Amino acid sequence: MKNSYEKNVISKATIDRLPLYFRTLRLSQVEGIEIISSEELGQRLGITPEQIRKDLASFGQFGKKGVGYYIKELISNVGKILGLDNHWHIAVIGVGHLGWALAHSRNFDSLGFKLVAMFDTDPNKIGQCIKGVEVLSLECLKEVMQEQTIHIGIITVPEFYAQGVADKLVAAGVRGIWNFAPMKINVPDTVRVINEDLSVGLSSLSFYLARQTEID
């Protein structure tokens, strides 16, 4: 039971690499590959083979020494580790451009997530449909969540409203929040929050370019 992840603390860095492994493994599977070595997988990802072996080993022994990893088996295992087999129900709150884009993303479907509701306060948006899911009034949030479980709320409202939406989600019993508003939100620590502040990526790119310029 040494490597059971209930006991060991897994680093955030490791967890953030698992989705990359999962994606690349599935891609390799489509190409018809059945067995892959950490070396080969590392090549495709730009990650060292040692790192990959270490990451995987913290959850169990998935490979065969002298052989490699059976892709089909490994995909299934990594998928389970990531909890994708739970087929989480997600709701988008704030159907602006970004919310709209996320709701359309096929990428999330293919990872097993299921869009079950969308909410907005704008009467022009309420009633619109994406993939057979209707945009509802934010007022209905709690009610809808009681009818059909919503595990994950995606916050794509302007930053000023983010905390209010988070409060509503928490009150309605949400388990996790994916927050795109560039603003810290406070929730009880039974609720998981992942912040996805897009200005960080662009600003850090700016940093590197500026520094390069200076050095030249």
Partner DNA sequence: TAGATTGTTAATCGATTAACAATC
Question: Which residues of this protein are in contact with its own copies, per CB under 8 A?
Answer: 5-6, 12, 15-16, 18-20, 22-23, 44-46, 81-84, 86, 88, 96-98, 100-102, 104-105, 107-108, 111, 113, 151-152, 175-176, 178, 182, 184, 192, 194, 196-215
Residue 78 CA, distance from chain mean position: 14
| Binding piece for DNA, criterion CB under 7 A, among 9-17, 26-34, 84-92, 122-130 | 9-17
84 φ, ψ to 5°?
-70, -20
| Binding piece for DNA, criterion CB under 7 A, among 56-64, 99-107, 176-184, 205-213 | 56-64
- Residue among 1, 6, 61, 213 that touches DNA (CB under 7 A): 61
Contact between 11 and DNA per CB under 7 A: yes
Q: Select the binding partner of residue 13 from its own copies, DNA, none (C-beta < 5 to 8 A, by kind).
A: DNA
Q: Select the binding partner of residue 57 from DNA, its own copies, none (C-beta < 5 to 8 A, by kind).
A: DNA
Q: How far apart are CA 148 and CA 173, in angstroms?
A: 11
Encoded tokens for 114: 């299921």
Helices (H), the chain: 12-30, 38-45, 49-57, 71-81, 97-104, 106-110, 141-147, 159-171, 198-215
Nearer to its own copies, 5 or 167 (CB): 5
Partners of residue 90 on adjacent β-strands: 115, 152
- Give the list of residues 6+ apart from residue 63 with CB closer than 8 angstroms, or none: 38, 53, 56, 69, 74
Q: How far is CA 30 from CA 23, 43, 72, 171, in A?
A: 11, 17, 11, 42
Q: Select the binding partner of residue 38 from DNA, its own copies, none (C-beta < 5 to 8 A, by kind).
A: DNA
| Interacting residues toward DNA by CB under 7 A | 2-3, 11-14, 37-39, 48-51, 53-54, 56-57, 61-69
